[in-house]
Amino acid sequence: MPELPEVETVVRGLRPSLIGQTIRGAVLPAVLEQRSRRMLNVAAEELNAAVSDQPILAVERRAKYILLHLQEAVVAVHLKMTGRLYILPTGEVADSDRYLRITFPLAGGQELRFSDARRFGRVYVGASIDRLLPILGPEPLDDAFTVEALRAQLANRHGVLKALLLDQSFVAGIGNIYADESLHIAGIHPKRAADSLSDGEIEQLHGAIRQALNDGIKWQGASIRWYRQVDGTKGQSQDHFRVYHDPRSEKDKRCPVCDTPIVTIRVGQRGTHFCPICQPAL
């Protein structure tokens, strides 16, 4: 599932082409109109009415959500596993169109398209972000996310650290990949208890989270399976992972620091990758 770096890359790819454009409506294939309530928070005709003739004022990210700020509404898109947002001239056909779920015609002769092979993606519309999004933790790349802020977030937390990093109400935007990468950079075992970290380890974790996410953005996200940038090209983050890997395609992943084979375990039902030497258990 796309995480903060992938979603941020999509937002940066959309922003230059969308800001200042006007959405003319929202069009769903006829076969989907009666089955769209799982994907939408309103009926298809309500989505169309809410976005029609609305100028796009800003394109932003919150956690793993892509936000289109319109003059009188906000559209929030969660890509989930296989969702894609891309822009094409009206009438041009793309390979991703075989999974097309929503088309947003634009006044400039282009279309913003949302495709989703697995149909897990979500498109919500409302008057404000507060009414659309769940409770979310702080943005880990914001200036307000300091070492002290992370220490306060960890106070009185007793759970497993890896699972806590995946909790979007704890910190926003981190998923399985970048949790593993962050913990390796910090030298912390994924099964450590959250309340066992020393002040020095909290500082290391804070820096590691920001480094892992910034590296992910630098390499335009990870195209392990479905994720693509707005222009359809792959990201390169998967070529630079320290510990995370797909064992089906990379069976002998080794630690870039000590060359020890990376170990894979389950933490909170998620595949978890770590170096037993650089990230020792207590």
pLDDT band, very low/low/confident/very high, at 5 (cuts 50, 70, 90): very high
pLDDT band, very low/low/confident/very high, at 143 (cuts 50, 70, 90): very high
pLDDT of residue 34: 58
Q: With 90 as the cut, is the pLDDT of residue 36 above it?
A: no
pLDDT of residue 258: 98
pLDDT of residue 77: 98
Told to judge if 33 belongs to the known catalytic residues of this protein, a careful annotator would answer: no
pLDDT of residue 252: 86
pTM: 0.95
Asked if residues 243 and 273 have their Cβ atoms less than 8 Å apart, the reply is: yes
pLDDT band, very low/low/confident/very high, at 6 (cuts 50, 70, 90): very high
pLDDT of residue 38: 86
Is 147-274 in the same CATH topology as 4-131?
no
Half-sphere exposure of 45 (CA within 13 A, CB side): 1
Query: What's the whole-number average pLDDT of the chain?
Result: 95
Q: Which CATH architecture has domain 147-274?
A: Orthogonal Bundle (1.10)
pLDDT of residue 37: 74
* Domain regions of the chain by residue span: 4-131, 147-274
CATH no. for 4-131: 3.20.190.10
From the list 2, 105, 138, 190, the catalytic residue is: 2
Told to judge if 80 belongs to the known catalytic residues of this protein, a careful annotator would answer: no
Q: With 90 as the cut, is the pLDDT of residue 187 above it?
A: yes
From the list 157, 201, 270, 276, the catalytic residue is: 270
pLDDT band, very low/low/confident/very high, at 110 (cuts 50, 70, 90): very high
pLDDT of residue 248: 73
What integer is the mean pLDDT of 258-273? 95
Q: How far apart are CA 164 and CA 169, in angstroms?
A: 9
pLDDT of residue 35: 62
∠ CA 112-113-117, rounded to 5°: 160
What integer is the mean pLDDT of 268-275? 94
Integer angstrom CA distances of residue 42 from 50, 72, 123: 10, 16, 9
The model's pLDDT over 217-261, given as tens digits with 9 standing for 90+, comes to 999 999 988 999 999 999 999 999 999 998 777 778 999 999 999
What integer is the mean pLDDT of 177-190? 98
Looking at the chain, the whole-number percentage of residues with pLDDT higher than 70 is 98
From the list 3, 8, 111, 181, the catalytic residue is: 3
Query: What's the N-to-C CA distance of the chain in angstroms?
Result: 31
What integer is the mean pLDDT of 46-70? 98
From the list 8, 24, 61, 64, the catalytic residue is: 64
Q: With 70 as the cut, is the pLDDT of residue 32 above it?
A: no
Q: With 80 as the cut, is the pLDDT of residue 28 above it?
A: yes
Told to judge if 5 belongs to the known catalytic residues of this protein, a careful annotator would answer: no
Q: How far apart are CA 112 and CA 109, in angstroms?
A: 10
Told to judge if 270 belongs to the known catalytic residues of this protein, a careful annotator would answer: yes
Of 199, 195, 200, 189, nearest to 157 (Cα)? 195
